[in-house]
């Protein structure tokens, strides 16, 4: 009889969502609870699929937090697995190493939490012998490879390794327990259950090496439908790998070309059509969309000037679609040039050219803006200061953006009131 397990990682329960909370409290509440709902969905899937085990390859938590609500929730989910006869294998990742709950929560006897030294758990299932190898982060940082600390494969058994690692490195992720994929294949385990990198990947080779990605995205940079990996080990020791959807809320970037829109109503209708198409293509319960407006339209200045009104209009239309949310609206539209429209020179546009080509490039103007940003940053608590970037180059790019956006905002407010809302 086959042995089946689900492999997941990086749930990040209780992950802070400060940026969402500032814009939309209801949306922040939805996303904040989505990680819990996603884990409950994983437990439901384990029970429905009648799997034998659940593997969590690190970062079940999100750091140094002491939420007893999370502790009670997690205990109840683990109890459901235990009562269903499903074993759970957990390693601690870099975020778990900070969590007090990780150290204090009492798990059912069916749950194995691997410690800071390599451990092997041997089980038998009908005619299959299986060995689960795991090693947890004892500290938040692991700058060196952990591979050599793992036991070698158990002979005459199906060997499953559980590791939290950045592999050779991934964009947006710090280097943790780095190792080469080729070294994992050469180690001889039949399956490597990895965690840490939030995008799913199956690394081809003589064995099966899978980074499952996170089961629930938390922001627009973790967009797309999220899944867990369902693995079946057959009696002949061959493996079948499948994906199962788990995300409750799905982040998506939604590009909208407004080149055909000449009235406010037309613009709203084009946006709604694109939003509806994205909703139809979303597999998760909720769609959280970032609307990216582009194209050349005479509405460009009005859209920029009346962003709050546009946000309210699109949020209302999203609500009518059902389970659809607007995370943000990005404006990259352009106004038709005077040459293209056959109009006489526009004094406001001439002023705009002067501002962009001369005024904002003046050293004194730039220094004044830099001083204001630095003053604001220094007045904020340390955890909120990363809005200005992590390097001098990122800080200067922010100044460029502020100068450009500020100039455009001034121009939008100076434009004639002739293009009022239709």
**Stronger pLDDT, 353 or 297, i.e. the higher one:** 297
42 and 178 inside one domain: yes
**Whole-angstrom distance, CA of residue 130 vs CA of residue 140:** 30
Residue in the structure block whose two tokens are 């909720």: 286
**pTM of the entire predicted model:** 0.84
| pLDDT tens, position by position, 19-45 | 676 678 889 889 889 999 999 999 999
Q: Cα–Cα distances in Å, from 177 out to 115, 150, 333?
A: 15, 12, 44
Q: What is the pLDDT of residue 373?
A: 85
**Stronger pLDDT, 239 or 387, i.e. the higher one:** 239
Best CA proximity match to 112, nearest among 54, 192, 41: 54
Residue 102 pLDDT level (bands cut at 50, 70, 90): low
301 and 338 inside one domain: yes
236 and 256 inside one domain: no
Q: Looking at 183, 210, 245, which one is the last position of a domain? A: 245
The region that residue 184 occupies, defined by phi over 0 for left and psi between -120 and 50 for alpha, beta otherwise, is: alpha
95 and 233 inside one domain: yes
- In this structure, is the dihedral angle defined by the CA atoms of residues 284, 111, 204 and 142, taken in order, positive or negative? positive
169 and 294 inside one domain: no
Mean local confidence (pLDDT), 186-212: 96
Pairing assessment for the beta strands 249-257 and 227-233 based on DSSP bridges: unpaired
Average pLDDT value for the chain:
87
The gap from C-alpha 301 to its chain's centroid, in whole angstroms, comes to 32
Share of the chain above pLDDT 70, in %: 85
**Stronger pLDDT, 380 or 33, i.e. the higher one:** 33
189 and 284 inside one domain: no
Residue 319 pLDDT level (bands cut at 50, 70, 90): very high
The gap from C-alpha 232 to its chain's centroid, in whole angstroms, comes to 28
Best CA proximity match to 366, nearest among 406, 331, 412: 406
17 and 77 inside one domain: yes
User: How many domains, in total, are found in the chain?
Assistant: 2
Q: Is the pLDDT of residue 406 over 80?
A: no
3-state secondary structure 54-75: EEEECCCECCCCCCHHHHHHHH
**Whole-angstrom distance, CA of residue 231 vs CA of residue 132:** 14
The per-residue DSSP string of 335-355 comes to PPPHHHHTPPPPHHHHHHHHH
Mean local confidence (pLDDT), 268-284: 97
Q: Looking at 245, 280, 310, which one is the last position of a domain? A: 245
Q: Which residues contact 383 (CB under 8 A, 6 or more apart)?
A: none
**Whole-angstrom distance, CA of residue 396 vs CA of residue 388:** 9
226 and 257 inside one domain: no
**Whole-angstrom distance, CA of residue 384 vs CA of residue 54:** 36
Beta bridge partners of 195: 164
**Backbone phi, psi, residue 59, to 5°:** 55, 50
List the alpha helices (DSSP H) in 122-237. 181-187
**Stronger pLDDT, 92 or 268, i.e. the higher one:** 268
Side-chain-side CA neighbours of residue 148 (13 Å): 3
Q: Are 176 and 94 in contact (CB under 8 A)?
A: yes
| pLDDT tens, position by position, 214-239 | 999 999 999 999 999 999 999 999 99
CATH number at residue 106: 3.60.21.10
**Whole-angstrom distance, CA of residue 294 vs CA of residue 280:** 22
43 and 93 inside one domain: yes
Q: Which residues contact 217 (CB under 8 A, 6 or more apart)?
A: 198, 223, 224, 226, 247, 249, 250, 251
Best CA proximity match to 150, nearest among 196, 88, 193, 108: 193
Residue in the structure block whose two tokens are 């609307």: 291
164 and 217 inside one domain: yes
187 and 272 inside one domain: no
162 and 307 inside one domain: no
Q: What is the pLDDT of residue 416?
A: 47
**Stronger pLDDT, 390 or 136, i.e. the higher one:** 136
Mean local confidence (pLDDT), 356-360: 76
Q: Looking at 223, 245, 267, which one is the last position of a domain? A: 245
CB atoms within 10 A of CB 21: 14
Domain of residue 131, residue span: 3-245
């Amino acid at each position: 009889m086959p042995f089946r397990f689900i492999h997941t990682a990086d749930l990040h329960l209780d992950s802070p969502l400060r940026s969402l909370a500032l814009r939309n409290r209801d949306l922040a509440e939805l996303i904040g609870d989505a990680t819990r709902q996603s884990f409950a969905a994983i437990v439901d899937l384990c029970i429905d699929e009648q799997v034998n085990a659940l593997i969590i390859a690190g970062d079940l938590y999100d750091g140094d937090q002491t939420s007893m609500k999370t502790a009670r929730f997690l205990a109840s989910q683990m109890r459901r697995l235990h009562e269903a006869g499903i074993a759970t294998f957990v390693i601690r990742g870099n975020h778990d190493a900070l969590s007090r709950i990780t150290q204090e929560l009492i798990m059912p006897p069916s749950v194995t939490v691997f410690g800071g030294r390599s451990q092997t758990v041997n089980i038998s299932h009908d005619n299959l012998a299986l060995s689960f190898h795991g090693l947890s982060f004892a500290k938040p940082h692991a700058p060196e490879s952990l591979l050599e600390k793992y036991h070698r494969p158990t002979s005459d058994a199906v060997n499953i390794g559980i590791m939290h690692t950045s592999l050779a490195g991934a964009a947006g992720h710090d280097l943790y327990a780095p190792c080469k994929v080729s070294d994992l294949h050469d180690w001889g385990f039949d399956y490597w259950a990895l965690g840490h990198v939030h995008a799913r990947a199956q690394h081809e080779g003589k064995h099966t090496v899978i980074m499952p990605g996170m089961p629930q995205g938390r922001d627009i940079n973790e967009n797309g439908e999220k899944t867990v990996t369902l693995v079946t080990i057959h009696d002949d020791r061959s493996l079948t790998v499948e994906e199962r959807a788990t995300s409750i809320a799905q982040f998506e970037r939604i590009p909208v070309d407004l080149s055909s829109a000449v009235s406010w109503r037309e613009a709203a209708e084009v946006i709604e059509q694109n939003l509806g198409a994205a909703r139809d293509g979303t597999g998760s319960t909720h769609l959280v969309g970032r609307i990216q407006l582009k194209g050349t339209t005479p509405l460009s200045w009005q859209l920029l000037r009346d962003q709050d009104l546009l946000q309210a209009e699109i949020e209302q239309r999203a609500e009518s679609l059902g389970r659809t949310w607007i995370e943000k609206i990005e404006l990259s539209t352009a106004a038709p040039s005077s040459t293209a429209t056959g109009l006489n020179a526009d004094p406001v546009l001439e002023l705009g050219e002067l501002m962009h080509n001369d005024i904002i490039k003046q050293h004194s103007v730039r220094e004044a803006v830099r001083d204001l940003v630095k003053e604001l940053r220094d007045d904020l608590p340390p955890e909120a200061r990363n809005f200005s970037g992590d390097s001098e180059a990122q800080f200067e790019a922010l100044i460029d953006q502020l100068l450009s956006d500020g100039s455009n905002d001034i121009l939008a407010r100076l434009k004639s009131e002739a293009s009022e809302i239709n």
